[in-house]
């Protein structure tokens, strides 16, 4: 019996290729890991409702979503870290003055504070989830939100970073940044699961490709960057595998000795 490990996978550019498709060999590799007795989990910046189909296809019910703000273990919520509402209200007011729309997100839905905006359509369309936020400028009131999307061009988030100490701004698209609580990250969400399950550090693995994976790959003992990943990410990972388009998950799992 192989000694059990836990492996966390990012979604976009890691499990899914650039067409948002799950490569056949990646799927086979995930089920082989489970057959060998390992625990397989997802660590993503996406909302839970944005990868429900993928969870069902891969039969995964443990995940870190919203870059660590909403964590589920075996189908049960383990940890949440919501945004500060007073700061979010001020951010909304400041962003409206600059024509920078915001999308508010909880575990069930996403709502935009404007009726329509090119940046929202452009960035959300790139996810190919077949769903767009509807309009509700007051959605942030009276509920816990785990992430917001601020829509602005690269570099324009700098002024917000200086003004809002309660938030971290993590770019995921040329016209959009994730807004998460300061100090929140996939790494912290992973820690909650690992601590609960009692895995030792040497039995924890993580695969990622983007800037929001940086802390995860810096923190996890056995970190693997995808060949298609950002150069900054490849530098901090322990291993670099092939591109997602070249069955990088399968080759990476072989590289670290899990397959």
- Position 88 scores a pLDDT of 97
* Alpha carbon 123 to chain centroid, angstroms: 15
- Position 204 scores a pLDDT of 98
What is the C-alpha to C-alpha distance for residues 141 and 143, in angstroms, rounded to an integer? 6
| Domains of the chain by start residue, with CATH | 6-80+184-255 (3.40.50.1000), 85-181 (3.30.1240.10)
- Position 170 scores a pLDDT of 86
Residue carrying structure tokens 């000795």: 257
Could you tell me which of 232, 233, 214, 226 has the C-alpha nearest to residue 255? 226
* Alpha carbon 141 to chain centroid, angstroms: 24
pLDDT tens digits along 223-242: 999 999 999 999 999 999 99
Read out DSSP for 158-194? HHHHHH-TTEEEEEEETTEEEEEETT--HHHHHHHHH
pLDDT tens digits along 147-205: 999 999 999 999 999 999 999 998 889 999 999 999 889 999 999 999 999 999 999 99
* Alpha carbon 92 to chain centroid, angstroms: 23
pLDDT tens digits along 85-140: 999 999 999 999 999 999 999 999 999 999 999 999 999 999 888 889 999 999 99
Active site residue 191: no
- Position 1 scores a pLDDT of 42
* Alpha carbon 220 to chain centroid, angstroms: 15
Rounded to whole angstroms, what are the CA distances from 17 to 42, 57, 169, 206, 209?
15, 16, 25, 17, 11
How many helical (H) and strand (E) elements, i.e. helices and strands, does the chain have? 9, 14
Could you tell me which of 46, 47, 56 has the C-alpha nearest to residue 22? 56
- Tally the residues of the chain: 259
Could you tell me which of 66, 33, 255, 252 has the C-alpha nearest to residue 168? 66
DSSP 8-state assignment for residue 48: G
pLDDT tens digits along 64-81: 999 999 999 999 999 999
């Amino acid at each position: 019996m192989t000694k059990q490990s836990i492996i966390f996978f990012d979604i976009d550019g890691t499990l899914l290729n650039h067409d948002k498709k799950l490569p056949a060999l990646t799927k086979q590799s995930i089920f082989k890991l489970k057959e060998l007795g390992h625990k397989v989990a997802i660590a993503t910046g996406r909302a839970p409702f944005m990868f429900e189909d993928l969870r069902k296809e891969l039969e995964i019910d443990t995940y870190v979503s919203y870059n660590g703000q909403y964590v589920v273990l075996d189908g049960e919520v383990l940890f949440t870290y919501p945004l500060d509402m007073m700061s979010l209200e001020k951010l909304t007011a400041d962003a409206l003055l600059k024509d920078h729309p915001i999308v508010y997100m909880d575990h069930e839905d996403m709502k935009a504070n404007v009726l329509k905006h090119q940046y929202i359509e452009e960035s959300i369309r790139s996810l190919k989830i077949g769903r767009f936020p509807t309009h509700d400028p007051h959605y942030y009131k009276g509920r816990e939100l785990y992430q917001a999307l601020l829509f602005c061009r690269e570099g324009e988030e700098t002024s917000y970073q200086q003004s809002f100490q309660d938030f971290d701004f993590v770019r995921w698209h040329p016209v959009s940044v994730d807004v998460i609580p300061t100090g929140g990250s996939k790494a912290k969400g992973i820690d909650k699961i690992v601590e609960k399950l009692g895995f030792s550090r040497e039995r924890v693995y993580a695969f990622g490709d983007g800037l929001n994976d940086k802390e995860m790959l810096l923190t996890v003992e056995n970190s693997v960057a995808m060949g298609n990943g950002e150069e900054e990410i490849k530098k901090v990972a322990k291993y670099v595998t092939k591109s997602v388009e070249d069955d990088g998950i399968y080759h990476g799992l072989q590289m670290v000795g899990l397959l």
